[in-house]
Amino acid sequence: MKPKPPTPQTPPASRSGSVTLTLPYTAPFDWPRLLRFLAGRATPGVEAVDANTDTYQRVVEWAGVSGLLTVRCEPQRAVLLARLDGAVSQHADALAKPLTHLFDLHADPGAIQAHFCRDLWLGPLLAAAPGLRVPGAWSGFELVVRAIVGQQVSVKAATTLTGRLVQRAGQLIVEAGPAAQPGWRFPTPERLASADLTNIGMPGKRVAALQGFAQAVASGDLPLEPAAADCATLRAKLLALPGIGPWTVEYVAMRAWRDADAWPSTDLVLMQAIMAREPALVRPAQQRERTEAWRPWRAYAAMHLWNEIADRAGAARGG
């Protein structure tokens, strides 16, 4: 049976507008590799990873108010400490759940290890990184934007382009503090749908797809949260939009919808990783057949294969 971590602890809000949530997890938990993944994809101005303090920061918004989130790990206690500064701290209780999803704190590493330990490919990868998690996303909208922007470009280029979007359609907030900290709120669907994205560095068709997606979310035609519809319905709705392909849908399912069995089968890095192990598995259908043995944890298999490449390259590769 999957162990249930204790309920997150929420102290009362202080007069300064600061609250620290204590978010427990089941060890092992690979905080350094999770930070590496987030750092390589951090949207400039919105989020950042401080390598000196091993902390993650981002501007967050909830119920119409904003503030700064700062998260660090205390492995001795098996908890994350998530500090909320600014007006958003008054919603600390409500934010415990999305933060738990963001950092995949409900994962059961023992069950995942038991499932993969006898797999000739994945067993060694889990032994090398037993606490690897599937990083979540602050919002499904933000993640889809990032995925569309990242089509056919590198992770670094996608990060640069997303930062430009923030400058065009985001909002600089006061609550975020010094310039060294993130200070921009990610664009809302309404603002992104109507923004002038001329000469932003993306092909016209991709800009049209991006703004068409933003408009669909802004109008309410496309709900992005699993609470609004089941994952199968969400997949179909998202896939029906122009410029959205299967990779984007599965990537969003992995990180935003917390589908532990999501599998972005057309991901080039994953395909190359499989063929490196078995050159005969060239076609996507052949590869999908091999991945059937990884159900219902294929999202974790994807993370371990991406992580292997990132470990070798010393960089953020995959996803």
Active site residues: 267
- Alpha carbon distance 154, 220 (integer Å): 31
Backbone φ and ψ for 207, nearest 5 degrees, come out as -60, -45
Tokens representing 169? 């359609």
> With contact defined as beta carbons under 8 Å apart, do 216 and 222 qualify?
yes
Among the residues of the chain, which ranges form H helices?
31-40, 92-102, 109-116, 122-128, 140-149, 155-169, 189-194, 204-219, 231-239, 246-255, 268-277, 284-291, 298-313
Residue 310: C-alpha distances to residues 15, 37, 40, 261 (Å)? 43, 9, 11, 22
The amino acid that residue 71 corresponds to is V
Can you name the residues that pair with 50 across neighbouring β-strands? 55
Cβ within 8 Å of residue 10, ≥6 positions away:
19, 21, 92, 93, 96
CA-wise closest residue to 71 among 33, 99, 42: 99
Can you name the residues that pair with 19 across neighbouring β-strands? 84
Number of neighbours of residue 60 by Cβ within 10 angstroms = 28
Alpha carbons within 13 A on the beta-carbon side of 174: 2
C-alpha radius of gyration, the chain, whole number: 19
Classify residue 83 by its DSSP letter: E
> With contact defined as beta carbons under 8 Å apart, do 176 and 68 qualify?
yes
